[in-house]
Amino acid sequence: MRAALLDWYDAEGRTLPWRVRPEDRARGVSADPYAVWLSEIMLQQTTVPHATPYWRAFLERWPSVHDLAAAPRDDVLAAWAGLGYYARARNLHTCAQVVSIELGGAFPDTLDELRKLPGVGDYTANAIRAVAFGKPASVVDGNVERVISRLTALETPLPKAKPQIKAVAAELADPARPGDYAQALMDLGATVCAPKSPDCAACPWSVWCRARAEGTQTRYPLKEKKKPKPVRCGACFHVMKDGALWLRRRPETGLLGAMMELPGTGWSEALDLSEMDQVQPFPAEWRHAGQVRHVFTHFELELDVYCAEAPAGWTPPQGVMVPVRDLGKAGLPSVMMKAAKLGLERGLI
């Protein structure tokens, strides 16, 4: 099985910009741990096609971990906007400073030391160890979970099945080419053992796959029924003055920490209109532009957008006025960019 998987990987594995393929390694090319670490942080909650342009932009702007460590955090947060899960961006910057200042710019290659880095958990540590250093690691992402679940026709649903899947993946790991094995298994799930339409004819493990033998490939992996996400409500104020939009920075900690936002109410189970009256920036006939919806990990947000032109002589009590033409550079998280665009499109109707 190991040989079949690695033969397939040598011929069919993905070519990713941060990955060193076996043929490249044979020519003496080695992976850049900084580039690999950057890719793995971006890929924690993001797909390869979505993350790759950000990865290229980061490397062009900050070619080394020392460059990223020295960058203003606000610049890093702004460059991250659109990737979501913004605690990753804060941890990314902190981690770069730790590696640059405390470790002299060298990423560690042991799991214990990698796990100590800010923003690096067990999965990411294993992925960096495998991809950057080609060392033994147990890399189990969603793609690997699907492959192993089908291979063994695993009846334990996720997430309870995670320890079993990790044990099977570790047992199958190739001691001679551990890094390639880990990447091959991820690629197999990403390109062949797809969620809805697995290409079993192209799979190097098809002859050993219990689910294929039983014709039940798409039944796996089993998953526990998800609870409906709660809905939270809030309002934000779209304040324009001389072609600029008022933005402020969110608190350092918590959801969207330190990101820019349109000022507004808190987010709760129901929109408290009295709270909105208390926090509105100035008395005005606020126009309701509409509502934006955004799905976070643990809840859905319904955010009402209210618009007004700032009165003469008004200055923002906090934050900054950002020209509309520069909103794309302001580092707005996705939900706030949706609100800003809605206000610009419909606020004057």
Active-site residues, by number, are 40
Same domain? For 144 and 239 the reply is no
Same domain? For 211 and 257 the reply is no
Same domain? For 110 and 187 the reply is yes
At 107-162, the pLDDT tens digits run 999 999 999 999 999 999 999 998 999 888 888 999 999 999 999 999 999 999 99
- pLDDT average, residue stretch 165-192: 90
219, 245, 261: which is the final residue of a domain?
219
Same domain? For 67 and 154 the reply is yes
Same domain? For 183 and 315 the reply is no
- pLDDT average, residue stretch 300-314: 93
Percent of the chain residues topping a pLDDT of 90: 69
Which pLDDT does position 262 carry in this prediction?
Answer: 96
Same domain? For 151 and 290 the reply is no
Would the pLDDT of 324 be above 70?
A: yes
Is position 226 within any domain? Answer: no
Is position 316 within any domain? Answer: yes
CATH at residue 57: 1.10.340.30
At 279-300, the pLDDT tens digits run 888 988 899 999 999 999 889 9
Q: Which residue has the higher pLDDT, 270 or 239?
A: 239
Is position 48 within any domain? Answer: yes
Same domain? For 17 and 122 the reply is yes
Same domain? For 27 and 163 the reply is yes
Of 49, 60, 51, nearest to 80 by C-alpha is 51
Count of structural domains, the chain: 2
**Which pLDDT band holds residue 349 (cuts at 50, 70, 90)?**
very low
Same domain? For 147 and 251 the reply is no
Same domain? For 168 and 207 the reply is yes
Same domain? For 88 and 211 the reply is yes
Domain span at residue 69 reads 2-219
Positive or negative CA dihedral for 158, 161, 167, 172? negative
CATH at residue 244: 3.90.79.10
Which pLDDT does position 92 carry in this prediction?
Answer: 96
Same domain? For 125 and 61 the reply is yes
**Which pLDDT band holds residue 347 (cuts at 50, 70, 90)?**
low
